[in-house]
Structure 1
Amino acid sequence: MTSSNYQNAVDEFLKHCKIKGLSIDTVKFYDKELKQTRRSFVDIDVPIDDLRQIKTKHIENFIEHQQSLNRAINTINSRIRAGRTFFNFCLKKGYINKNPYDDIQQLRIRHEVGATFSKRQLKKLLDAPDTTTFIGLRDLAIMLTLAHTGIRLTELTSLRVQDVSFDDKGAINIQHAKNRYARRIPLTKRLKVVLKSYITERGVLDNDSLFITVENQPIGGRSIQDRLRQYGEQTGVSKEVAVSPHAFRRTFCRLKVEAGTNIFILQRLTGHQSLEILKRYVQIYGKDLEQAIEEGFEDM
């Protein structure tokens, strides 16, 4: 059986992922998590010079080490997922004869829904930008797109001008979705008006990214996060809820569930691969329990 050390196998695995056509974000995920895992393996003396020597007991020690560092459960689970996939690759290559992650379970997490904005908080944020300036109009268009579509940050930064159509009711076409399935999200009346105004102000440029800086360059995800934090501090909303792109996405899901939107339609709008997360919103924010509790007791 061929022998290999951890880092050489990781390099080969990442090359395999790229050749296989996995998304850039997925490759970055594996790269990041496997690097972090390697650092911890070194700290706790896991024998990384020979993958065949890595056993389940080492993975258990790794998890305990992560817990001692107060790593979040989601973070540890991400590293478990990345490690299991990587060692499955090593198994197929013949570098090991058993995956040390086979007997390792994901850590159990409490199924909660993160913080969302109230309608009052959302209105404060959307009223904050000075739309007499290009930056203010752009920031309103960004926040309104997040709020009215539930789009992910990576999807938003990948939008091009041609992905927005104003025919009939208008729509945004998500071409670079997380699950690689393109989807269409119709525009609300207000979003249609704001995006039209923004695109007119943006003008025709060599760069076709929808959201740009004042230097006419694509605006990055980090810059958008910083802008949202600034509006959160400016309005005082951040004292109650951390203002982030994902908070807008969670709020979109909550408001749609509260409005009675069918969960399968909501899944198509948000691009969730599984219904599990959306079911949590239904459990907490669905109105069917209040309606059902009175049924059968009308005459009593």
Structure 2
Amino acid sequence: MTADEAVQTFLGWMATERRASPLTVEAYRSDLARFLGFMAEHLNGLPDMAGLAKISLRDMRAWLAQEQARAATAKVRKTTPDRAARTRSRRVSAVRSFFRYLARRHGVENPAVGLLATPRTKKPLPRPLSKEDAKAVPEDIASLAHTDMARQRDGALFLLLYGCGLRISEALNLNVADLTLMKASGVLRIKGKGNKERLVPVLPQVQQVLEGWKKHHPSPLPDEPLFPGVRGGRLQPGIAQKAMREWRGLAGLPDHVTPHALRHSFATHLMEGGADLRVIQELLGHASLSTTQRYTLADEARLLDVWNRAHPRAQGNQHSQEG
């Protein structure tokens, strides 16, 4: 088996057994092509399976050095240094996953991969909408739809995203049958990353809107998508993202206002209301509490910004006050 053939079998395994998203599979395909392309030039020929086991830590560091050198032109490409570091980190992850697969499925062991350091990156802090903007999203976006069905659908979809803190993929994977559980118990069964399931409580207002949407659903059979497209079938995430882009343009809001920002808004507004971080972690389906703790950092950053803008000393206002 050649290295290229090994990559193809690995990507097939990722898609079928690991159920990785098509975007992840394509990103790994590109990352591994860059890695093997460098090694082919660096080692004077594309390594075979035995050669993959012999790639040294020095060889891998040379590959990362080239990736970093390419990232030095980030200003020309208008790519931020931290974004470039995140890309390199993903490429290291792709290479590690590939070699783990080779070890488990083909007996190709390369201990150097485990010694390769991952580029350090700064995780961006969540940027939520204000409470006023978040509450306005469902109705405002629905008003931009061209058909009555799309208006009802979009209003229910965006209210669900903010009301339950769902990822757009989680909401669009729901079927009409999922409303039966909601009606009986007030919760939705959500299938998140890695096919992990969680139960998310649904506010009465959101339940009411979803039940109202079901009455306008073009084909409310149990196995039908809860949110269909105008031509039938499951609504594509790009359509929902486009609707929000149009709305934020009219509302004069920045580019970070996306459907995912409603998930950030859900978590941030719960935290501001005094919700426990562990509860928010469960509602969001985060595997690690450290991921949820980013909302604490985001709130601290917001408070510091308010302080810097509002406090007389922070503004350089040195006048004394009487009293």
Shorter-chain TM-score tier: 0.7 to 0.9
- The match for 1:191 is 206
Structure 2 residue 64 is matched with structure 1 residue 63: yes
Whole-Å separation in 2 of the counterparts to 1:103 and 1:266: 35
Cα deviation digits, residues 104-133 of structure 1 (max 9, x gap): 122222244132111122234233122882
The secondary structure found in structure 2 opposite 1:75 is: helix
The secondary structure found in structure 2 opposite 1:161 is: coil
Structure 2 residue 140 is matched with structure 1 residue 123: no
- The match for 1:213 is 229
The secondary structure found in structure 1 opposite 2:200 is: strand
- The match for 1:268 is 282
How far the C-alpha of 1:53 sits from its partner, in A, is 4.5
Does the C-alpha gap of structure 1 residues 168 and 13 become closer, same or farther in structure 2, counting only changes over 3 Å? closer
Q: RMSD in angstroms over aligned alpha carbons?
A: 2.8
Does the C-alpha gap of structure 1 residues 169 and 98 become closer, same or farther in structure 2, counting only changes over 3 Å? closer
Whole-Å separation in 1 of the counterparts to 2:208 and 2:235: 21
Structure 2 residue 197 is matched with structure 1 residue 202: no
- What fraction of aligned residue pairs are identical, expressed as a percent? 23
- The match for 1:292 is none
One-letter code of the match for 2:178? D
Structure 1, gaps ≥5 residues long? 290-300
Does the C-alpha gap of structure 1 residues 169 and 241 become closer, same or farther in structure 2, counting only changes over 3 Å? farther
Q: Does the aligned pair in 2 maintain the 1:52–1:95 contact within 8 Å?
A: no
Cα deviation digits, residues 83-120 of structure 1 (max 9, x gap): 11211222345564424322112222224413211112
Does the C-alpha gap of structure 1 residues 40 and 230 become closer, same or farther in structure 2, counting only changes over 3 Å? farther
- The match for 1:298 is none
How far the C-alpha of 1:46 sits from its partner, in A, is 4.4
Deviates more, 1:178-187 or 1:29-38: 29-38
Structure 2 residue 245 is matched with structure 1 residue 229: yes
How far the C-alpha of 1:209 sits from its partner, in A, is 0.2
- The match for 1:101 is 113
- The match for 1:258 is 272
Q: Does the aligned pair in 1 maintain the 2:164–2:266 contact within 8 Å?
A: yes
Whole-Å separation in 2 of the counterparts to 1:30 and 1:134: 34
How far the C-alpha of 1:82 sits from its partner, in A, is 1.9
Structure 2 residue 49 is matched with structure 1 residue 37: no
Q: Does the aligned pair in 2 maintain the 1:179–1:273 contact within 8 Å?
A: no
Does the C-alpha gap of structure 1 residues 93 and 170 become closer, same or farther in structure 2, counting only changes over 3 Å? closer
Whole-Å separation in 1 of the counterparts to 2:260 and 2:62: 33
Structure 2, gaps ≥5 residues long? 75-82, 304-323
More helix by share: 2
Q: Does the aligned pair in 2 maintain the 1:179–1:271 contact within 8 Å?
A: no
Does the C-alpha gap of structure 1 residues 12 and 213 become closer, same or farther in structure 2, counting only changes over 3 Å? closer
Structure 2 residue 66 is matched with structure 1 residue 86: no
Cα deviation digits, residues 151-207 of structure 1 (max 9, x gap): 112212211111124435622211x32132211111112211211111111143566
Whole-Å separation in 1 of the counterparts to 2:184 and 2:84: 46
Whole-Å separation in 2 of the counterparts to 1:222 and 1:101: 36
The secondary structure found in structure 1 opposite 2:195 is: coil
Does the C-alpha gap of structure 1 residues 151 and 167 become closer, same or farther in structure 2, counting only changes over 3 Å? same
Give the total of aligned pairs. 280
Structure 2 residue 71 is matched with structure 1 residue 72: no
Question: How does the TM-score come out when normalised to structure 1?
Answer: 0.82
- The match for 2:321 is none
